[in-house]
Structure 1
Amino acid sequence: MSASLSNLKPIVKLFLAERRRGLLLGAALSATTVAAGIALLGLSGWFITATGIAGLSAAAIATFDVFMPSAGIRLLALGRTASRYAERLTTHDATLSVLAALRERLFRGWAAPGAARELARRPARLLFRLTGDIDALDSLYLRVLVPAAVAIAAALAVSIALGLMNPLFGLAVGATLLGAGLGIPLFAGRRATKHARRRTYGIEALRARTIDLVAGQTDLLMAGRLAAQRAAIAEADRYASDADDRLNRIEAGVTFGFGLTTTALLVGSLLSVAALAGSGAISASAATLAVLIAFASVEPFGALRRGAMELGRTLLAARRISPRLSADDEILGNREPQNGSAFRLNGVSAGYETETPVLHGIDLDMAAGSTLALIGTSGAGKSTLLSLLAAEIRQSRGSVECLDATLLTQRTELFQDSLRGNLQLANPEAKDAALNEALAAAGLLQDVAALPHGLDTRLAEGGMGLSGGQSRRLALARLFLRDTPLWLFDEPTEGLDGATARDVMNRLAEKAKGRSLVIATHIRREAAIADVIAVMEDGRVTEVSRRGEAAFEKALNRLRPD
């Protein structure tokens, strides 16, 4: 539990850094609301009792001031309503603003090279966690921190107020409130933590398996696994439902515990004030005031009930998120090579997180301004080597020196935005002239100019609205906007027809003059522009040949023809 609570520190620091004034104001308004509610109930009880007693005597009626107490009741009622409204506005506005900042910060973090690679490999699971975990953190402020602080402050205030009537009475009420009022939620929170986590895991599994069923129902049907997938979904639903049932039982126990506490406190207060009133220490109206204040003081602790139930979910979200907030994001990068090299690899082994190395003992270098083709069967490690040069992963052994690089992956990643917006991902400051120049270099300017809205044309999700060739050209134009000395390509023309592919390669060769290129490919037309060919097998470079050598032509002949 202590380790889980430590994960909350960076979250709380972010909350305070983003909206300190709003969060503190919201807590103050919440305390004001609770204090006004307790005072309103106590004053109303006192006023009714005092009025009734005064009515027994004509002399008392003449001297009893009804205006001040009634004015106080109106003030407290209006103040409670106003503070409640302002508190809801302030706390929710501050919380939503902080969560928006947190969401932006985390998504920016997941857009960093290493994290982006992990996100691309497990998108559904990580996106569920990012969205669900951030939503879970709204309970931290609204249902845990503020209610706990307000409840403790109310208990202390009530203890002091009742202590003015009788110190022992005030101490007993305060101890009961703090002991039972905090003890019950803490005990329930500890019991609920495991089940809240199980519920979260169950819902994640339910969502992921349902998506797999919808997206892959044809494949599942062909493989005869449709019934098994439905059974897996039902199992995840049962798992989450069982956790929900356990949480409901714990919540019912919390409600019962608070009911017992309220009853015990009320009975104890009645006996105490009866004894005090009987001894003449306090008046009957003061006794009513004391009982009602003690009774109302339990209400702030009742607000902790929901927070206790969601504490496990909140702690799990904090555990997942806090590592990215507790320290500055590490920026991956490679040392710049010397002696006119584009990159230099010495004894390099590398792989992805939690996996065995994909690359083993690679020694390879390339002169600046030249072009290298990486060839080999699928799974040989070509894409991993490109990720290493692009500083998306780190080496586990050896040294890597490489110029600043831009990587064009096999997949064309386009977004539901305008053409301009998709291009400016590479260079947010690029003006229309630079965008048109990049489009012209990629052979897409005429197609864009023919569109009714030009650069403002909106694309659907995944770049729908463009053909495969146009999408690839748009991705190429986006790369042209990245002014880096080294460009990395992973099968740049895969899936394009021959004429389009040859045009793309010609434009790429023309635009890349003076730059260094590395191309991972299975196709002859892509390797034909290279000065050097490196053959990869099982994560190792087994052969390096240069243009003009017999081995170079032999390597070209191994590739798929245009």
Structure 2
Amino acid sequence: MALGMLLAACTTLTGAALLGLSGWFITATAIAGLSSAAALAFNVFTPSAGIRLLALGRTASRYGERLVTHAATLAALVDVRERLFRAFARPLAARPWQLRPARLLFRLTRDLDAAESLYLRLLVPLCAALAMTLGMAGWLAWLSPWLGLAALLWLLATGLGISGWLLRSSARLSAEQMRLTEQLRTRMSDLCAGQTDLLMAGQYEARRQQLLAAERRLARLDDRLQQRDAMAGWTWQALHSATLAAALLAGSWLVWQGRIGAASAALLALMVLAATEAFAALRRGAQDWGRALLSARRLQAPLQAGGTAGGPPSLPAPPAGMALQMRDARALLRPEAGGRFSAGVTLQIAEGERVALVGPSGCGKSTLLALACGERRPAQGHIAALPACWLTQRTELFQDSLRGNLNLQERPLDDAQLMQGLRDAGLAELVAERQGGLDCLLGEGGLGLSGGQARRLALARLLLSQQRFWLLDEPTEGIDAEVAHDVLQRLAAHIGTRTVLMATHLRREARLASRLIELAPGGRILADVRHGDAAYDDLLRRLRPD
């Protein structure tokens, strides 16, 4: 980034020198042409060589500036975006965004795009403008110290003054524009995704009018920002003309004093003209300052939180022969409300056991599974567990090929292994029916698969995993009984010696377990019974029937 700013300063200085030397050369050539003696004595080679050298230097520095500054910006954005993804991938980090996923996407896209203005449109032009001002003032000070000081103060006052005014006057407006743009996109997304429900509730037209009202407010903000930009542009032109007139007067005074010639006076006027142009590039950055500052503030918290550079979260290994060991483990059931487990959970599961967590909805079954795989950290207590594979309640599918959805970890699995996993899950016929086989594409969210097929695909992922510890969160919820029984039979056939911890409230799923643990609201363990006990059969009967 520092090299980019240095190249920008070189580009501005060589451009000003090229403009000034070209004006000097044209003026000096015209004066020399007034007499044949002066024309014969005039040296055209040195200034023409200087012009070519400056032209080549300006072209090279401009190319280098664009290459270096954009490469540095893109590299920085890649780094920041990766840090953001890691930060939002931390346990519970994205929970506040679940109801507004559009805002999370906005942070990862639009906020980062706005942040690039800080460097490309503000720091780089500012560095170039200051370098030009100092260079111009130093050259004029060599001719006249008072003239150099006056030029320095005037250029800084006008250039930074207009930029500062535009920055202050548009900061609030541009920040509000960004907030309103986010609201508009969120409402548009909600309107498109929920139009059926809104029509059924008779609220579609009201929501559409709200969207149009937000769009009109955004248009008014755009108009106000354009007015400020136009006012800044008009002021630039007026001061630009005044500066040029002052430069012509100063050059005439130096010629009258005999300190410089007429050609040098032309050089002075054109150099001052280039110096004022250097500040004009700050207009865009000054207008985007509010937007960039708001983006930086939004991204500050997740960037400071950071994320681990490794793979998935890991837990300490349990003692030999154990798959899971919890001692007085407490977790936040609702982090936004500060709720905790009412009592610490102490639990041990040996390798090869099949355990089912049962209890009413909201009692903490899924939270306990998240603790068991390290997706959530305990607020208190100790947890040690073997690496686990978690079959969650929702089947997360992506707009990708069947192969990509099946092998999310991109492990070195050949087609035969992938097809075996699909056959074990009962999806071999689906692959045979689809053109492209494993490379056939699924729509967004797995569009093109039924609910049962999506659940079978998740089961195939589980069967292909190498972990010996399976976590199952209501594996057959939401699918019809026939498909559910088939999925459970396939699960039972492939469990073997693996350890299973399952959250369920269905009798058909709990039958897979040899041990039932009943949880009360808040996560307290009410009962821990094993197959063959009378309490086991009684607890099984109290579960929801198939």
Aligned to 1:199: 177
Q: Is the 1:199–1:241 contact (alpha carbons within 8 Å) kept by the matching residues of 2?
A: no
Measure how far apart 1:62 and its partner are.
2.2
Determine which of 262, 267, 292 is the counterpart of 1:314.
Answer: 292
Determine which of 528, 532, 537 is the counterpart of 1:548.
Answer: 532
Q: Say which SS state the counterpart of residue 350 (structure 1) adopts.
A: coil
Measure how far apart 1:532 and its partner are.
2.5
Q: Say which SS state the counterpart of residue 343 (structure 2) adopts.
A: strand
Instruction: Please tell me the residue identity of whatever aligns with 2:131.
Output: A
Q: Say which SS state the counterpart of residue 342 (structure 2) adopts.
A: strand
Q: Is the 2:431–2:438 contact (alpha carbons within 8 Å) kept by the matching residues of 1?
A: yes
Residues 226-237 of structure 1 mapped to structure 2, 5 A cutoff: 226-237=204-215
Q: Is the 1:415–1:463 contact (alpha carbons within 8 Å) kept by the matching residues of 2?
A: yes
Residues 373-522 of structure 1 mapped to structure 2, 5 A cutoff: 373-445=356-428, 447-448=430-431, 451-522=434-505
Q: Is the 1:343–1:403 contact (alpha carbons within 8 Å) kept by the matching residues of 2?
A: no
Identify which range, 139-148 or 530-539, moves more after superposition: 530-539
Structure 1 residue 354 corresponds to structure 2 residue 320 = no
User: Unpaired runs of 5+ in structure 2?
Assistant: none
- Cα distance in 1 between the residues matched to 2:499 and 2:410: 20
RMSD: 2.9
Q: What's the CA shift string for 1:524-558, capped at 9, x where partnerless?
A: 11111122323334323352231233332232222
Instruction: Please tell me the residue identity of whatever aligns with 1:363.
Output: V
Instruction: Please tell me the residue identity of whatever aligns with 2:337.
Output: E
Q: Say which SS state the counterpart of residue 492 (structure 1) adopts.
A: coil
- Cα distance in 2 between the residues matched to 1:385 and 1:119: 22
Measure how far apart 1:267 and its partner are.
3.6
Measure how far apart 1:500 and its partner are.
2.0
Q: Say which SS state the counterpart of residue 524 (structure 2) adopts.
A: strand
Q: What's the CA shift string for 1:75-112, capped at 9, x where partnerless?
A: 54455456545644554455445434544553354445
Aligned to 1:8: none
Measure how far apart 1:446 and its partner are.
5.1
Q: Is the 1:199–1:244 contact (alpha carbons within 8 Å) kept by the matching residues of 2?
A: yes
Identical aligned residues as a percent: 48
Residues 58-457 of structure 1 mapped to structure 2, 5 A cutoff: 58-77=36-55, 79-81=57-59, 83-84=61-62, 87-88=65-66, 91-96=69-74, 98-115=76-93, 120-326=98-304, 328-330=306-308, 332-338=313-319, 340=322, 342-357=324-339, 359-368=341-350, 369-445=352-428, 447-448=430-431, 451-457=434-440
- Cα distance in 2 between the residues matched to 1:204 and 1:87: 33
Q: What's the CA shift string for 1:213-245, capped at 9, x where partnerless?
A: 122122223323224322432343244334334
Q: Say which SS state the counterpart of residue 288 (structure 2) adopts.
A: helix
Instruction: Please tell me the residue identity of whatever aligns with 1:342.
Output: L
Identify which range, 297-306 or 421-430, moves more after superposition: 421-430
Q: Is the 1:348–1:400 contact (alpha carbons within 8 Å) kept by the matching residues of 2?
A: no
CA 1:296–1:190 in structure 2 vs 1: closer, same or farther (change >3 Å)?
same
Q: Say which SS state the counterpart of residue 540 (structure 1) adopts.
A: coil
Structure 1 residue 57 corresponds to structure 2 residue 31 = no
Q: Is the 2:83–2:307 contact (alpha carbons within 8 Å) kept by the matching residues of 1?
A: no
Instruction: Please tell me the residue identity of whatever aligns with 1:561.
Output: P
- Cα distance in 1 between the residues matched to 2:25 and 2:158: 30
- Cα distance in 1 between the residues matched to 2:149 and 2:334: 60
Q: Is the 2:329–2:379 contact (alpha carbons within 8 Å) kept by the matching residues of 1?
A: no
TM-score, normalization by structure 1: 0.86
Q: What's the CA shift string for 1:233-278, capped at 9, x where partnerless?
A: 2343244334334433432343244334424433432333232222
Q: Say which SS state the counterpart of residue 553 (structure 1) adopts.
A: helix
Instruction: Please tell me the residue identity of whatever aligns with 1:374.
Output: L
Measure how far apart 1:203 and its partner are.
0.6
Instruction: Please tell me the residue identity of whatever aligns with 1:469.
Output: G
- Cα distance in 2 between the residues matched to 1:294 and 1:430: 67
- Cα distance in 2 between the residues matched to 1:423 and 1:160: 67
Q: Is the 2:324–2:372 contact (alpha carbons within 8 Å) kept by the matching residues of 1?
A: no
Identify which range, 196-205 or 384-393, moves more after superposition: 384-393
- Cα distance in 2 between the residues matched to 1:73 and 1:276: 25
Q: Say which SS state the counterpart of residue 495 (structure 1) adopts.
A: coil
Measure how far apart 1:28 and its partner are.
4.6
Instruction: Please tell me the residue identity of whatever aligns with 2:521.
Output: D
Q: What's the CA shift string for 1:37-93, capped at 9, x where partnerless?
A: 212221222123223332333322221223433443355445545654564455445
- Cα distance in 1 between the residues matched to 2:147 and 2:520: 82
Q: Is the 2:341–2:524 contact (alpha carbons within 8 Å) kept by the matching residues of 1?
A: no
Q: Say which SS state the counterpart of residue 354 (structure 1) adopts.
A: coil
CA 1:465–1:102 in structure 2 vs 1: closer, same or farther (change >3 Å)?
same
Structure 1 residue 561 corresponds to structure 2 residue 545 = yes
Q: Is the 2:341–2:522 contact (alpha carbons within 8 Å) kept by the matching residues of 1?
A: yes
- Cα distance in 2 between the residues matched to 1:141 and 1:425: 36
Q: What's the CA shift string for 1:335-354, capped at 9, x where partnerless?
A: 44447351315151313543
Measure how far apart 1:30 and its partner are.
3.3
- Cα distance in 1 between the residues matched to 2:414 and 2:183: 45
Q: What's the CA shift string for 1:160-189, capped at 9, x where partnerless?
A: 222222233223222332343234323432
TM-score, normalization by structure 2: 0.89
Q: What's the CA shift string for 1:409-442, capped at 9, x where partnerless?
A: 2211111222222222135333334434433432
Q: Say which SS state the counterpart of residue 23 (structure 2) adopts.
A: helix
User: Unpaired runs of 5+ in structure 1?
Assistant: 1-22
- Cα distance in 2 between the residues matched to 1:110 and 1:481: 27
- Cα distance in 1 between the residues matched to 2:204 and 2:477: 32
